[in-house]
Structures are given as C-alpha cells and as structure tokens.
A and B are shown apart, each in its own frame.
Chain A
Amino acid sequence: MTKEGLITLALAGQPNVGKSTVFNLLTGMNQHVGNWPGKTIEQKTGTFMYNGTRFKLVDLPGTYSLSANSPEEVIARNFIIKERPDVVVALLDAAILERSLYLVAELLPLPAPVVIALNMMDVAEQEGMRIEPHVLEAALGVPVIPMVATKNQGVRELIQAIDDVAHGRVKYHPRLPEIRADHRAVLEEIEALIDSYVPEPYPKSWVALKLLEGDSEITEMMRACTPDDVWEQVHAILMAHEDAIIDVAGGRYDWIRRMVRAAVTRPKAGQITRTDKLDRWATHPFWGMFILAGILGMVFWLTYTVGAPLQNLLDVYVVGTAANWMGALLVSAPTWVRGLVMDGIIGGVGTVITFLPILVIFFATMGLLEDIGYMARAAYAMDRFMHLMGLHGKSFLPLFLGFGCNVPAIMGARVIESQRARLLTIMIAPLVPCTARMVVVTFLAPIFFGQAATLVSWGLIGLSLTVLAVLGILINKIAFRGERAAFIMELPLYHVPNWRTIALLVWQRCLAFLKKAGTLILVMAVIVWALSYWPGGDVETSFLAQFGRLLEPVGALMGMSWRMIVALLTSFIAKENSLATMGVLYGAGNEEAKLAERLSGTLTPAAALAFLVVQMLFVPCVATVAAMWQETRSVRWTLFNVVLLLVVSFGVGILVYQVAGWLGG
C-alpha cells in the first residue's frame, strides 16, 4: 500500500479532542500549513520518521460525522475516498467515548484501515469512567491505543500500531454498523441498480448507503452518472423509503451501544445519583403532583406565618403613621385634597405597599425552588399529570412554562402549529394562576380565613387548574381530535442554592413591583378615588357607586357589595389594583380602622370565598389581553375571551357562594 516508500496517514476526529496536540507530537517542526484545494479551510500536513519508514500525516478538518452537512465533512470523506491514505487515525475523546464513536462508525465503511487513538483517558478516569481498551479493541476489531496526549503518554504505542497496520502485520477485521433487516434488502436493491454506474474510486456499498441516507452530494453525483431510466427506479425506491435515514443513523447508534457495553463501566457521580433518586419522586406522575401540592402549601404557610404579622406591622406603623402625619399636616387643606391624599394615595398605594414583606417571602421561596432546580420538575410533573388526564401536551407546555405570568404563556402557544389549536390554547392561558393573582390571594386569604388561609389558597390554585383542565380536555377533543403530542425535557441537576442569585431575584422582582405600585397602581388608585368622591363628596352617592350599583344584582348572587365588584373590575388594569381599590373604598387611609378589620367585618365567609374564586378566574390584566390581541391579531377573539372569562368567573363564583352558603347553613 505504500506509495513511493511513503506511508500516508489521515488524522480524523471531532473538534476539541486534541487533534492539534497529537499532530504536533507526531510531526514536531516538520509541518506545512496551507488550504484545502478550492476551500478556505486550513490544511495541515507534516512528516515524521519511524523505524526507517517515512510517514506523511494529513490533518483532516474536525467533524462529528461524515454526512454532507458541512464543507469540512465533505473534505474529510473525499480525502479518504480519493487519496486513499494507508491508515486513518481516528482520535477520540475517551470522556465522551459514545459520542466520539459516531465518527468511527462512519469511517469504518470507507476504504482505509482505521487505528483508534483513545485520547484524554485521564479526564475519563477523573469523571469516574473505567474504559478497557483491550475489550473495546476486541469489540471493534481495530487497534485501540489509550493516550494522554497532553502528557505525551501512548504516542509511541500509537505509532507502532499505525506501522503494524500499514505494513499488514496485524489482522484488520472491523465490525461494521448494520441497518435494520427490511432496509438491508432495499440497500442491496439500490446497490444492484447502480452497480455499473458508480464512478471510481467510490465504494459501491458506501454510495448505496449514502443514497439511502439522502446524502445531497452523493445523490447529485449519482443522478449525473446514472441513465435516466435506472435513476427513475432508484429514485422511486428512495422516495418509498424516505424514513430509511432513521435506520441508517440508528444502526450506527446501535453499533455504538454494542461496542461500549462491555468496555465501559460508568460509576455514577454523586450529584447525578442524588438527582436521579430525587427525580424518581419529584417527576412521578402521581407523587410528583403530590409533592408539588405539598411544596405549594408550604410556600403559602411560610408566607402567611412569617409575612402576615410583618404586613400587619407595616400597616400599623408605616401606613398608620403616614396617615396620622398627613392628617395633621392637611388639617386645614380643602376636603378633596385631604381625601385624595388620605383615601386615594395612602389608602390605595399604601395598602399595596404593605404587602412587600409577603412578596419578599413569596419570591424568596419561589426563587429558592427555582435555583435548586425544582421548578423544571414542577413543570414536568404537571405536564405529565395533565397528559395522563387526556390533555394535549402541546397546549399545556407553554402554559406551565409560563408559570409566573400569563403573557409568556400566550407567547409560548407559538409552539403549536395548528392555527385552531393555538387559538384555543391562547384562550385558556389566562387561567394559569399568575404571580399577581397570587399576591391578591396571599393578601386576602389570611384576612378572610385566618388559620385556614393556606388551605384556601391551595384550594384556589387547585380550582384554577381544574377549570383549566376541563376547558383543556374540551380543546383536546375539539381542536386536536385526540392526536398525540410529546415533549422531551432536559431536567438540570439539582444543586446547592446560591443565596446571591436568590437575593438578586427577590430584589429585581420587588423593584418591579414597587415601580408598578408607583405608576399604574397609583394612577388607578387616584382615578378610583376621584370617581368615588365626586360629584357630592360622598362615596355612597359618587359616580363609582352609581356605576357599581348597576352591577349589584350580579354581586348579590355572590353576596358582594358594589365596592367588591368595582374592586374586581379595576383588577383589569393590574391584578393588584383590587387591593388598592379596596383600600380606597374601605378607607384604609383613615386612621380609625385598618383595611383588614373593615374587610373581615363586611363579608361573609361564603362571599369572601366567592370573591377570591372570581379573582382567580377573572378577565386577565390588560397586558395579557394586549398580548392576546397581538398573537391572535383578532379583536373578535380577544373580546370573546374577555366575555368567556367573565362568564366563567362569575358562573363559578355564584356556584361557590350558593354552595358555601347552603353548606354553611
């Protein structure tokens, strides 16, 4: 095989496996750097002497496979086919052996013997992998030389193995990847058809395989070389077996698994074992949901136990003190100015700001769950559960990926190709309990229900998800017609929380919340106050009361006064406005009584529960409605959604009030 006494070697390998190091070790100073003919891709060649033989080493471009996906892959395979090197040295990264072997699976069918240099053995060892090169060699049927190129280990053995193969001193019987039996017959059929037309020096079986794989370069070449009638037959076979590419590539993966099975033992690293053990529970379709529900309950419990007293303190000392001071300061100011500052600003925005401690705790616990890697599991467990209930994964994944806010949930519906299914998914997206709604519930639940607040909040989330699920099942039946959908999720490893990250997260979210309180909520509080003051300076005869009373018949069905109905309506601008509005309408800026006391005195438990239910299911905030319009580009559908949610929320609210009232007595 030697040409003019010179042995030509090709060095093949994936990027970053240490090809340059090995190339330099072998050739030393005898290198030449140029370009591959007609390309701007660098070509390095070099020479070295061993046992009186001169070797020429050509560094092939780094590639993961030898398909026609990139110019580098075409250069590498064309060099081996056309230049026929005496030996191809396949340099592999032992630490990612399976992945590296894919290239070997493609090299072996080419007309040049392969010697495997198994580099980075030290890294593999550090990662806990035990590779037995002799076992691998026996499985592959080609020489395997373990190496640590950076420490100059194994280089001499590699040269010796190359020399042996080049001079035919060792038997070379590589075990090649195979493809599935039914496609094997197809392969033979193609090979027989193209037999006399494959140009030299291409190996016929390889060309047939590449045709079956849909390789663009080889298909073009064969179309030009084959008579039309024969090509038509070949083409017809290829069209009938378009999916053969799965079996050709799949055959290589099967081969990899067979090759490494005996040669590699991989004791699992501590972190992976821990993640695996935890995930067996956290991602279980039933226990996963159970754990998720438990964790949510804990978050609420913690928020209420620690946050509610702090909120109370802020209410008494900060809002109360501010109200006292302003009251004294504005004693001689016109009544409307006093009202605006005391009832509008302090009552509205002040009330909203008092839940900062609640928010800090809520955000911190959620941030902790995110940071340790639990939230991805929550989405996963939820998805699996929804799927088991017969829901379509494609409509639920976007919803649950957008856990915190409805806007990304609506945007996420883009993963759904079908226009109809996408639209319907967008329609139910606002039922995902968003953070802002949770804030309102977090504030009101302890006021209305005291010790039972955790249970109520937990039940409200459950209710939201149940309504979502019922609508989702309907959508699955109507839009997807029971079609299957699937997702593959990578779940990051669990890790020790980074307190800095969590602190930063809490800070950013609190800042965003305060900004909202200072702008949108402030403006709305002032507007609500103005409408509740004029024309007569009395809430009961104000514009807002007149408007609210129009809605009182609906409110009466849920035991709610017009004030509560108005509070609900203002949540359309931002969910937290419900609280600001209550602050204004129930006179939280007034030093005589705190909002909490006034509220708990005005509503029956059944009405309070109905209010929270409606709040959870109500028309989403204006930002969500805008996103909906942007994504659907339809005013009709956007309006339909607003009406739908209005009907659903009031419907369920009325039902809850009536049933709770009946149960209560």
Chain B
Amino acid sequence: MLRTLLEKVTTGGVHSYADLCRELGVSESLLEQMLMDLERMGYLKRVGTDCERHCANCSLNGTCAISQGGQVWTLTEKGTTGR
C-alpha cells in the first residue's frame, strides 16, 4: 500500500489527507503513520518546519496556511524517482 500511496503522490499535484484516505481506504491516523514511514525512508519530507523561527516577529503570520496546524509534505528527490 505504501507503493500505491507513493505512486499516487508522484503523479504530481496537491493531495489532501481526506482524498488519500478515501482512495486508499484507510483512516487518517494510519495515513499519517504511512507518511511518517515514507519520511523515515527518505521519500517524503515535511514542509515549513523551520517557519516559526522566521515568522515569530511577523504581524501577518496568521495569514500563512503553514501556521494553521495542518501538516504539509513534499516529495524528496528520492521520492520523485521512486527509488
């Protein structure tokens, strides 16, 4: 199933948790664990983890979607080639 997930993601575009859960037939908590596994294997990485440091003093940081608690992931080079 991890390969199916990775294949879905490598077709490109933006995917929401809800879409992926529906397509794979799993719960959101399991999807999250799969994403973490793919991160550990080096296929995915989290986006915006160093945001807080940069945005701490910005009066507009509330308008930034990253700061709204939702996690964003992107493919690594390894994830793009699928190897």
Contacts and interface: CB of A to CB of B under 8 A. Distances in A.
Interface of A: 64, 69, 96, 98-99, 102, 180, 242-243, 245-247, 249-250, 253-254, 256-257, 261, 266, 275-276, 279, 283, 366-367, 370, 373, 375-376, 378-380, 383-384, 387-388, 393-394, 397, 400-405, 407-408, 411-412, 414-415, 417, 435, 483-492, 505, 508-509, 511-512
Contact of B13 (A266, A393, A404, A415): A393
B65 A379 contact: yes
Contacts of A96: 29
A246 to B, nearest CB: 5
Interface string B1-30: 111101001111111111010001111011
Given A243-B82, A489-B16, A484 B10 contact: yes
A98 B32 CA distance: 11
Contacts of B77: 417
B59 A401 contact: no
A375 B63 contact: yes
B68 A492 contact: yes
A375 B64 CA distance: 8
A411 B49 CA distance: 12
A370 B3 contact: no
A491 B18 contact: yes
A254 B77 CA distance: 26
A606 B41 CA distance: 57
Nearest to B66: A401
A247 B4 CA distance: 10
A401 B27 contact: no
Contacts of B41: 245-246, 249
B74 A487 contact: yes
Nearest to A283: B16
Q: Which of A379, A483, A511 has the most CB of B within 10 A?
A: A379
Contacts of A414: 50
Q: Which of A266, A404, A490 has the most CB of B within 10 A?
A: A490
A283 B35 CA distance: 21
A98 B14 contact: no
A444 B62 CA distance: 26
6 contacts: A98-B30, A246-B41, A257-B26, A400-B65, A489-B15, A491-B17
Nearest to B17: A490
A404 B75 contact: no
B60 A387 contact: no
B54 to A, nearest CB: 5
Q: Which of A257, A411, A486, A509 has the most CB of B within 10 A?
A: A486
Contacts of B11: 484, 486
Interface residues of B, number: 58
B53 to A, nearest CB: 10
A405 B60 contact: yes
B68 A376 contact: yes
A384 B27 contact: no
Please provide the 6 A-B residue pairs with the shortest distance between their CB atoms, ordered closest to farther: A404-B63, A250-B2, A512-B59, A484-B12, A404-B60, A253-B1
Contact of A483 (B6, B48, B80, B82): B80
A425 to B, nearest CB: 14
Contacts of A64: 33
A485 B74 contact: yes
A437 to B, nearest CB: 13
A486 B74 contact: yes
Contacts of A388: 13
A25 to B, nearest CB: 26
Contacts of B70: 376, 489-492
Nearest to B41: A245
Contact of A488 (B15, B54, B63, B64): B15
A483 B75 CA distance: 12
Contact of B68 (A375, A405, A435): A375
Interface in B34-83: 34-35, 37-38, 40-41, 43-44, 47-48, 50-51, 54-55, 58-66, 68-75, 77, 80, 82-83
Contacts of A488: 9, 14-17, 20, 35, 44, 72-74
A415 B62 contact: no
Contacts of A384: 13-14
A638 B44 CA distance: 31
Given A412-B48, A417-B77, A99 B3 contact: no
B33 to A, nearest CB: 5
B2 A489 contact: no
Contacts of A180: 3
Contacts of B4: 250
A280 to B, nearest CB: 9
Contacts of A383: 14
Contacts of A486: 9-15, 74-75
B3 A489 contact: no
B15 to A, nearest CB: 5
Given A247-B2, A397-B47, A405 B58 contact: yes
A386 B83 CA distance: 27
Contacts of B16: 279, 283, 380, 488-491
B64 A387 contact: no
B58 A407 contact: yes
A400 B63 CA distance: 10
Nearest to A386: B14
A509 B60 contact: yes
A360 B33 CA distance: 42
B6 to A, nearest CB: 7
